[in-house]
Amino acid sequence: MSGGGPGGMRGGPFGRGFMTDEEKANQPKVTPALLKRVFSYLTPYWKQLFLALLCITVSSILNMMPSILTGKIIDEGLLKQDLRALLFYILLSLATTLGASLIGVADSYINTWIAQHITYDMRNQMYRHLQTMSQRFFTTNNQGDIITRMTSDIDGVERVITSTFSSILSNSLTLIVALVAMYQRNWILATIGIIIVPLFTIPTRKAGKTRWSLTQESQARNDEINGILNETLSVSGQLLVKLFGKEKEEYHRYRKANRRMISLNIKESMAGRWFRVVLSTFTSIGPMLIYLVGGVLMMRYDSSITVGDISVMVALLGRMYMPVNSLLNVQVDWIRSMALFSRIFDYLDMPVEIKSKEDAVVLDDPKGDIVFNDVSFGYEEDRLILKNVSFELKSGNSIAIVGPSGSGKSTIINLIPRLYDVKSGSVTFDGIDVRDIELSSLRDKIGVVSQETYLFNGTIRENLKYAKEDATEEEMIEACRKANIYDFIKGQEDGLDTMVGNRGLKLSGGEKQRISIARLLLKDPLIFIFDEATSALDSISESKIQEAIDPIVNEKTSILIAHRLSTILAADEILVVKDGQIVERGTHKELVKAGGVYQELYETQFSRAEQE
């Protein structure tokens, strides 16, 4: 709607009027339902839209005025040698140009305003929806894809509103105004104009195609370069390159990809140059034809045609070129826009897998008894990970879950805060099926220190406050003391304000873990769950974590996934999991005596770890 410059058209001479094979294959079905949904985002802003439409209409008409006034300047001013008329029409022409530009500015503002508000609504709606997506969604979908929907797809929508929609409107209006003005003057010349204008677009389309394929190729090269940069300049990638001494190879790989860009970019820019040569030749043919036919008509057949009329026709013809070109390309833009919307709607329509029921119970004054009743579960349809798991954790007690890697220990605890729902059987909290409990009230009562401790990039204080926004300095220090990390924090120059780095990478594994324990202590849940990392920490680090966990296990209801004997011994009961089933249960002494899986684990894993 904005940009009422000469012609006020969009789409650029090369148009983006060509679709990739992928786009062709994925063309969305433009159904009334889809259109209705797209327009539902516009309806809250109908007042602004109406204003924008008004601006386009007025600026399209004003934009045509200088061309129409050319006739008056010639016929009334120059040919009649009337200085007053000449000045009047010149000033009027200037004023309309200025007016059109000013209205163009207003339109631009309204248009951007609408686009920004719509994408703001959309972004928030999408973020909110993504937050309700289950763990399964995030483990299955590529993180890059999710971010792309949130960023480029929605940016695309913004472009659609500021460019596609408005370009269709303003171009159609300009064209209508030009046609009416032309037919009013002389139908023969107007018809010649209509026949010629589409011919103008031939070179545009040809050059567009060449340029499009070059752009495609350079985009692929660009992706390649970005891939190399992403791989080799990330924290872990850099480390790998350094440790394997691959700097030289990586540099060569990068240089080669970079080099290919040079010739592509040169070709691309030259395609543009040649295009302009062809275009200017073609565009000069149109006016010449009008001069010729108009001249012959004027001299031989119709004396009412004036020089001004012919000049107006030529001027209007020049104004028609861009809108026609844009409108010829509009179908592709339209399909592309609809594809964007469909992609976004696909995401928004993904069902929320894990949510609170309408009549969900809000836990009030809970005790914290957890029971697994004959639970079976699998991440995928056809592969069960847990089979008939039953156990009971009484409030105040603690359970250690042990078993070989991949046996399903973490999976068991994922079911308690409902990161996933059971396939059959049930998990209950104080006797209520967790699926009947209001989700946030359930998760509020459960605290997990997972294998992969995650800290946000910020200070230790900020990370701690994530658990309790209004935590006082004393509370934080107390939690850090209990988590055995306070001495470390005290030793840092910035204390609690020490930056933890990207994902907490400036800290050691043990330090990160202890900070996450402190964070959990601040949350103070009813049930503590520790998923002990399998990766070995040094023994000092381990014993520090142990000292932090032990009192919690003794005092609170807790579940530990344990790989070390000392942790296991702290628990009241031990469950031994193998291939998704609980194969043994009891105390350490009982289980060693029984001489089964536990005893084997004890000999191969725990006791050796202990000796180390």
Q: Smallest distance from the beta carbon of 609 to ligand ATP, in angstroms?
A: 13
| Strand 581-586 relative to strand 424-429, pairing | unpaired
Q: Which of residues 478-537 bind ligand ATP (CB under 6 A)?
A: 534
**Binding ligand ATP by CB under 6 A: which of 291, 334, 379, 466?**
379
Interface with ligand ATP, residue 137, by CB under 6 A = no
Interface with ligand ATP, residue 142, by CB under 6 A = no
Look-up: residue for tokens 């001004």? 308
User: In the structure encoding, which two tokens stand for residue 516, read together?
Assistant: 């996450």
* CB nearer to ligand ATP: pick between 84 and 383: 383
Q: Smallest distance from the beta carbon of 567 to ligand ATP, in angstroms?
A: 13
Q: In what order do the strands lie in the sheet with 527-531?
A: 446-449, 527-531, 557-561, 398-402, 573-578, 581-586
Q: Smallest distance from the beta carbon of 372 to ligand ATP, in angstroms?
A: 14
Q: Smallest distance from the beta carbon of 381 to ligand ATP, in angstroms?
A: 11
DSSP H or E segment with residue 112: helix 83-131
Output DSSP code: residue 497: G
* CB nearer to ligand ATP: pick between 6 and 404: 404
Q: Binding mask 248-267 vs ligand ATP (x if CB under 6 A, - otherwise)?
A: --------------------
Q: What is the separation of C-alpha 416 from the centre of its chain, rounded to a whole number of angstroms?
A: 30
* Measured CA angle at 568 (ends 565, 572), to 5 deg: 145
Q: DSSP readout, 79-90?
A: ITT-HHHHHHHH
Interface with ligand ATP, residue 139, by CB under 6 A = yes
User: In the structure encoding, which two tokens stand for residue 331, read together?
Assistant: 């179908």
**Binding ligand ATP by CB under 6 A: which of 100, 207, 241, 385?**
385
Q: Smallest distance from the beta carbon of 41 to ligand ATP, in angstroms?
A: 34
Q: What span, in angstroms and rounded, lies between the C-alpha atoms of 368 and 345?
A: 40
DSSP lists the bridge partners of residue 391 as: 372
* CB nearer to ligand ATP: pick between 113 and 137: 137
Q: How far is CA 256 from CA 48, 245, 251, 260, in A?
A: 51, 19, 9, 6
Of 148-156, 160-168, 186-194, 399-407: span binding ligand ATP (CB under 6 A): 399-407
- 554, 570 Cβ separation under 8 angstroms: yes
Three-class DSSP category at 496: helix
* CB nearer to ligand ATP: pick between 324 and 415: 415
Three-class DSSP category at 278: helix
Q: Binding mask 401-440 vs ligand ATP (x if CB under 6 A, - otherwise)?
A: --x-xxxxxxx-----------------------------
* CB nearer to ligand ATP: pick between 339 and 402: 402
Q: Smallest distance from the beta carbon of 403 to ligand ATP, in angstroms?
A: 6
- 131, 88 Cβ separation under 8 angstroms: no
Number of residues located near ligand ATP, criterion CB under 6 A:
12
Q: Smallest distance from the beta carbon of 407 to ligand ATP, in angstroms?
A: 4
* CB nearer to ligand ATP: pick between 286 and 403: 403
* CB nearer to ligand ATP: pick between 410 and 441: 410
User: In the structure encoding, which two tokens stand for residue 15, read together?
Assistant: 């148009």
User: Residue numbers of the site for ligand ATP (CB under 6 A)?
Assistant: 139, 379, 385, 403, 405-411, 534
